[in-house]
Structure formats: structure tokens, C-alpha cells
């Protein structure tokens, strides 16, 4: 079968302390510190065979994520991969996807051939202390589809049944073809849902919301915030095409990021400031680091974007204003996939405007190159077309 494979040179930077597992398995905790000269190729590989607790999914649609781009892109000066999270290479990319179950393992009870499913990327163990506390996004033994184990930019993928969520209700509303494309948007929507609602201690309907980055995470955060009763919704992105999508989806205010942010946000909110800030751009040093006076009392900074640099935060201001800073990672647990699928199935959120192109897997490399300009919001790859 065809699959898009990421490869890179194993070249740990001077001073990076490889642990025993990293040395043994090349499963690196910070790809930016080890993997050099990344490249992607379309290869022919063997089709997967299901283990007893797995299903085989024929991939209908898989999104190219910002993380995929950061694994593909390299620093111009050093050649090191930009992505600072878990990466193992060589590996098949792709973690935002939906498809049809075509084979079922002997121990699987709740899925059958023909089911349409969306699948969690974080493969939590369920046994470590973090999982036993319900914090499955921080599983101490997790694997990640498309990062550390084979992903979905392939014609077929093997998935443990417990990570699969049916899309029946979405198909009832839109038909199977659209349901499968929307199913590929459940994972990025889940990332936004986790940050906005599960991690945010101060969410209330009527909150003024500021979002950095009108990519898929930022735009799904916008859709979720709006359906949950946001007051003003301010989207910040330098791309005119992405700001246009945000406006069409209902953003009340648009900024480019070149403004004096404190002043601009205070003017928009008539001096009240914002109650919720979502960092979905991955450049916190250029976004939330610049915010101070526009943060309302008891506001929350939800930091989702994963960048290379650590920002410098005005913690004295945070103390005086009672600002909450929360890091948010992942999309699993606490009903996230279930609830996003319900919102899609009932027409409460419509993510179709986010998809700017759907291309066959044979055009994957061109799609990655196209996304370098950051003008598209979401490009879906269709591995079986």
C-alpha cells in the first residue's frame, strides 16, 4: 500500500542528554534536538494485519497538521527539524483522520466491518498513574499515531478499537462522504475542546475571547467558543486568507498581530479586556508574551501551540489580576471525542469552511509545500482516491 514516510538523520545536538530509551529506540522526546534534514517520500509498504484488539481502517481523509509541517520543516541555519515534541523516524505521518473499518480483530466487540470512525492520536496506556488519575493526555507510556508509531497518511492503518469513535450520527446528517471529511477534523477540534473547556477554569458564556492563529486549531477553537456563548471573538493572524475564513465563520474582530495588542484589545472590548486567550499559533513569545493590560481579572491563558522557544511572562501582573495560565496538551479523555462528534452531528458547529483543499495522497509533497506559506487553513489528503 502507499504511505507517506518521514525520514531524518539521527544527529543529537551537543549537550542533549539522550536517555536509555531514546538511545535504544530512537523515540525522541524533543525532535528539534535530534532529527536533522527531515524529508518525506511516498513509499510502498506492507498492509497492516489486526491484532486481537485492533481494527484495520481504510483511511478516507487525513489532515495535514501544524505538527506534521514542523516535522517536515527544518531550521534553515542548522537543518534540524522544527518540531519540539515526540518523534521517531522513519515513520508514517498522519494523525487527524477518519475512515471505514474493513477488518476486525478477534477480541473486538463494539465495532464491525463498514463502521465509519474517527480515531484518537494519543495512545494512552490506561495503567500508569496519570491514566489512573484520568489524565490520559499525559500518559507516562503513551504512543502517538504519526509521531512515534505508524500514522494515517496511508491507505490503511491498524488502530486499537478503544481509541475509535463512531461517526454514525454525523453520517445521518451529512451523508458518508462529508461525515468522513468532518471526521478528520474531530482530532484538532478535540485539542481545542480540551483547552477551552477541560483545562480552562474560568469559562463562562459571555466571555470575551482572543485567539492567536487562524489555522485549524484556532478556527476550531473559534467555532467551539462561539457555540459555547462567547461574547466578542477576536482572531489574530497575519494571513489575509485565514482572517477571511475566521470572519466568514463569525469572528467579531480581526487583527493582524502587528498592532499594539494591549491597546487594540482594550479598544475592542471597551476597556474590559479579554477573559479567555487561546494560543494556537505556536509562537508564544510573539503572542501571549505581549499581553498584559488587556487581560481581565480572573482571565485564563490557554497555551496550546507548541513552539521552539519559551516565552517570558509578566507573572507579577498575573498575580495582581488573578490570571490563570494553563498549558493544554492533547484531546483524549473526559468525553472530548464524543462531545465534538455530537456537536458536528447536531449542526452546532460546522467545520466545512476550514477545509481549503482535498488532494490525493500522490500530491502530498506538493500539499506540504503549499502549506509553507500558511495561507490555507486545512488541507485534507485522500489516500484511497
Asked whether 163 and 301 are in contact (CB, 8 A), the reply is no
Q: CA 61 → CA 183, 357, 381, 382, distances in Å?
A: 8, 11, 6, 5
> In degrees to the nearest 10, what's the CA dihedral of 83, 88, 90, 94?
-60
Residues 251/223, Cβ–Cβ less than 8 Å:
no
Q: Any catalytic annotation for residue 331?
A: no
DSSP H/E element including 168:
helix 168-174
70 has catalytic annotation: yes
Which residue in the list 26, 37, 70, 258 is annotated as catalytic?
A: 70
What's the gap between Cα 117 and its chain centre? 18
- Give CA–CA dist 37/75, Å, rounded: 9
DSSP-derived 3-state class of residue 234 = strand
| 287 phi and psi angles, rounded to 5 deg | -120, -90
C-alpha cell at 230: 462567547
Cis ω for the linkage preceding 303 (within 30 of 0): no
Task: Count CA atoms within 13 Å of residue 283 on its CB side.
Answer: 13
| Chain length of the chain | 385
Cβ within 8 Å of residue 24, ≥6 positions away: none
Pairing between strand 295-303 and 2-10? unpaired
Options 67, 192, 299, 328, the catalytic residue:
67
Q: What angle do CA 195, 145, 279 make, to 5 degrees?
A: 25
- Terminal alpha carbon distance of the chain: 13
Q: The C-alpha cell of 176 is what?
A: 458518508
Phi, psi of 241 (to 5 degrees): -70, -40
Q: Are 71 and 81 in contact (CB under 8 A)?
A: yes
Q: Which helix (H) or strand (E) holds 208?
A: none
Supply φ then ψ for residue 255, to 5 degrees.
-130, 155
Active site residues: 67, 70
Amino acid at each position: 500500500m502507499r504511505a507517506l514516510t518521514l525520514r531524518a538523520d539521527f544527529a543529537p545536538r551537543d549537550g542533549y542528554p539522550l536517555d536509555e530509551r531514546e538511545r535504544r529506540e530512537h523515540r525522541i522526546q524533543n525532535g528539534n534536538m535530534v532529527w536533522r534534514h527531515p524529508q518525506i517520500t511516498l513509499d510502498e509498504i506492507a498492509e497492516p494485519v489486526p491484532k486481537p484488539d485492533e481494527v484495520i481502517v481504510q483511511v478516507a481523509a487525513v489532515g495535514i497538521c501544524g505538527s506534521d509541517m514542523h516535522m517536515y520543516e527544518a531550521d534553515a541555519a542548522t537543518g534540524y527539524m522544527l518540531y519540539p515534541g515526540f518523534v521517531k523516524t522513519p515513520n508514517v505521518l498522519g494523525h487527524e483522520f477518519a475512515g471505514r473499518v474493513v477488518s476486525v480483530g478477534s477480541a473486538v466487540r463494539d465495532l464491525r466491518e463498514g463502521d465509519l470512525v474517527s480515531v484518537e492520536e494519543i495512545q494512552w496506556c490506561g495503567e500508569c498513574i496519570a491514566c489512573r488519575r484520568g489524565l490520559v493526555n499525559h500518559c507516562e507510556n503513551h504512543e502517538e499515531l504519526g509521531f512515534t508509531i505508524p500514522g494515517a497518511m496511508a491507505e490503511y492503518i491498524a488502530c486499537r478499537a478503544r481509541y475509535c469513535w463512531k461517526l454514525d450520527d454525523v453520517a445521518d446528517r451529512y451523508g458518508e462522504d462529508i461525515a468522513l471529511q468532518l471526521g478528520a477534523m474531530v482530532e484538532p477540534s478535540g485539542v481545542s475542546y480540551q483547552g477551552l473547556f477541560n483545562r480552562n477554569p474560568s469559562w463562562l458564556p459571555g466571555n470575551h475571547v482572543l485567539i492567536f492563529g487562524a489555522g485549524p486549531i484556532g478556527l476550531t477553537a473559534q467555532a467551539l467558543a462561539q457555540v459555547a456563548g462567547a461574547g466578542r471573538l477576536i482572531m489574530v493572524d497575519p494571513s489575509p486568507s485565514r482572517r477571511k475564513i475566521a470572519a466568514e465563520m463569525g469572528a467579531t474582530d480581526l487583527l493582524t498581530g502587528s498592532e499594539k495588542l494591549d491597546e487594540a484589545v482594550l479598544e475592542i472590548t471597551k476597556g474590559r479586556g479579554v477573559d479567555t486567550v487561546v494560543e494556537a499559533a505556536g509562537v508564544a513569545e510573539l503572542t501571549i508574551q505581549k499581553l498584559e493590560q488587556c487581560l481581565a481579572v480572573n482571565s485564563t491563558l490557554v497555551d496550546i501551540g507548541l513552539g521552539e522557544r519559551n516565552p517570558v511572562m509578566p507573572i507579577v501582573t498575573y498575580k495582581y489580576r488573578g490570571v490563570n495560565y494553563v498549558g493544554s496538551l492533547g484531546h483524549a479523555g473526559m468525553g472530548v471525542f464524543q462531545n465534538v462528534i455530537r456537536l458536528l452531528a447536531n449542526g452546532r458547529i460546522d467545520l466545512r469552511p476550514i477545509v481549503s483543499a482535498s488532494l490525493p495522497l500522490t500530491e502530498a509533497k506538493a500539499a506540504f509545500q503549499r502549506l509553507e506559506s500558511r495561507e490555507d487553513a486545512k488541507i485534507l489528503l485522500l489516500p484511497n482516491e
